Amino acid sequence: MGKKEGVKQAFAACRQPHRYDNAAHRPVMLQQLQKHITRNARELQAPCDDMQSLHRDWMFACQPVDWPMSMFKAELLDARTEAAQRAIMDRELMLSGMACYAAIHYAHVIPSGLTKQHITLYSFVLYTMMPYGFFERPGMDRYFGHWNRKGMKLVPLLGTEAQPLGRWASFPVYEGEDMYARDAVRYPIWSSTYRQWQDRHERGGDMLLFSEVDIVQLQRPMEFLMPLTDIPLETSIEVIVSDSRLISRGSQWGHVAIEIDGIVYSRAHDEYVKIEKPTYFYGGVVNLANGSIRTGGNLWRDNVGLVLKISQDEKTTVKHELERRVSVDNEFKRTHPHESTYSIFDNSCSSNVADALESIGILAHDPRWFPTPVTPAELAAVLEKSKRFAKKNYYPKQIGQ
């Protein structure tokens, strides 16, 4: 069977959707879907204009169309002239490694209860990819001929059935009567030779050649059910719980703030503020709605940071909600500079953090009791039992603060 017929047959086989709805391919599809799905995702579509990303992040099946090495060796053995051998080598180098691939194209996502996501795959894409490089299968090393500055030759012309390339393929050879003559010696080059050169000089590379994509619609969509616990959580936020102080208004039970990307959102008794994390702990200038103040930091008492794992979309949701709350409070303070919206029941430091976390489904109060008021101790105890809890950071009291 020729190479062209092999490509046609492989591509035809890949176009059969039923071949993928099995125990071999479904886990791979689910693994690729997990790279892209979030708790707020509603549809997924592969980037067909970025073939390397498509191949790396969405591909789930491969159908090789490369010729077996035994067939290549047999053809090389049958060749009786150098020109015939060179033609076989050129074709093999040009077409070896080609394969047909299938990748996810479009899927729809809907929540299924509180703990699962229902995914429906409607289409996939087919394409061929051919690596123009020097990677080989384990245990294989491809012969590229004997070379010197004058060019390449295949030597010797004929081998044996046991050694189709002939035993001299692994050794330097020379032409003519004088082996010391200029350019008389030619050296064998293998795929491993290039890799060794590449590692030594830190230069060179490989090229991936992709065909155009062929979108295949599924007459019967494929269904997946993914637990929310399987959705990757690629980032984090930190809830900072501080010790109590009786002489501070609103801090008799402690204090809670939340840090996102280096910014601490803190609902103080007088005002809702945003502070850079170093300033929050060590002191510095804090901007207010009607000016600024200099603070001494927060290390006059013990602090604990509870790091929670969340997705990037969830972080964005929490950040937007906190920014909204700070903006609302700033607007109030500009028009009512001597008043405060603070409430121990529904607008305290801990209630604001609890509301923001529960907007993305993280329980932040004890469900056995009334949802308000939420104390810092209660919030800390609940978060430490959460599946999102990753680690605890300590910011101890410093003498002299």
Span 48-101, pLDDT tens digits? 889 988 998 999 888 776 554 444 444 444 444 555 555 555 555 555 567 788
- Decide which of 213 and 17 is more confident: 213
8-state DSSP, 94: H
Share of the chain above pLDDT 70, in %: 74
- Decide which of 380 and 10 is more confident: 380
Residue pair 37/45 in contact (Cβ under 8 Å)? The answer is no
Would you tell me how many other CB atoms lie within 10 Å of the CB of residue 119? 23
Domain boundaries, the chain: 3-229, 235-395
**pLDDT of 120-138, one tens digit each?**
999 999 898 877 666 565 5
| Least confident range of 42-56, 82-96, 361-375, 384-398 | 82-96
Band (328; pLDDT cuts 50, 70, 90): very high
Q: Which residues contact 125 (CB under 8 A, 6 or more apart)?
A: 46, 48, 54, 102, 103, 104, 105, 213, 214, 215, 216
**Statement: residue 355 has pLDDT above 90:** yes
Mean pLDDT, range 393-400, rounded to an integer: 84
Please state, in angstroms and rounded to a whole number, the distance separating the CA atoms of residues 268 and 286.
12
| Least confident range of 41-45, 257-261, 380-384 | 41-45
| CA-wise closest residue to 357 among 323, 325, 317 | 317
Q: What's the pLDDT at 335?
A: 94
Please state, in angstroms and rounded to a whole number, the distance separating the CA atoms of residues 387 and 401.
35
**pLDDT of 232-286, one tens digit each?**
666 899 999 999 865 555 556 799 999 999 999 999 989 999 999 999 998 999 9
| CA-wise closest residue to 166 among 46, 49, 254, 85 | 85
Mean pLDDT, range 331-346, rounded to an integer: 92
| CA-wise closest residue to 32 among 114, 111, 119 | 119
Band (191; pLDDT cuts 50, 70, 90): confident
Q: Which pair of tokens denotes residue 112?
A: 């299924």
**Statement: residue 329 has pLDDT above 90:** yes
Handedness of CA 375, 376, 381, 384 (dihedral sign): positive
Residue pair 228/109 in contact (Cβ under 8 Å)? The answer is no
**Element containing residue 143 per DSSP (H, E):** strand 143-148
Residue with tokens 């001929």: 145
Q: What's the pLDDT at 339?
A: 93
* DSSP string computed for 255-285: EEEEEETTEEEEE-SS-EEEEEHHHHHH-EE
Q: What's the pLDDT at 353?
A: 95
Average per-residue pLDDT for the chain? 80
Q: What's the pLDDT at 25?
A: 80
Handedness of CA 289, 292, 296, 297 (dihedral sign): positive
Phi and psi, residue 95, nearest 5°: -110, -10
**Statement: residue 345 has pLDDT above 70:** yes
Question: Residue 263 forms beta bridges with which residues?
Answer: 260, 276
Highest mean pLDDT among 50-54, 175-179, 188-192: 50-54
Handedness of CA 341, 344, 347, 353 (dihedral sign): positive
Sheet strands (E) in 170-271:
173-174, 185-190, 207-210, 214-227, 235-242, 255-260, 263-267
Mean pLDDT, range 361-388, rounded to an integer: 87
Please state, in angstroms and rounded to a whole number, the distance separating the CA atoms of residues 213 and 102.
10
| CA-wise closest residue to 36 among 62, 63, 15, 60 | 60
**Statement: residue 39 has pLDDT above 90:** no
Band (326; pLDDT cuts 50, 70, 90): very high
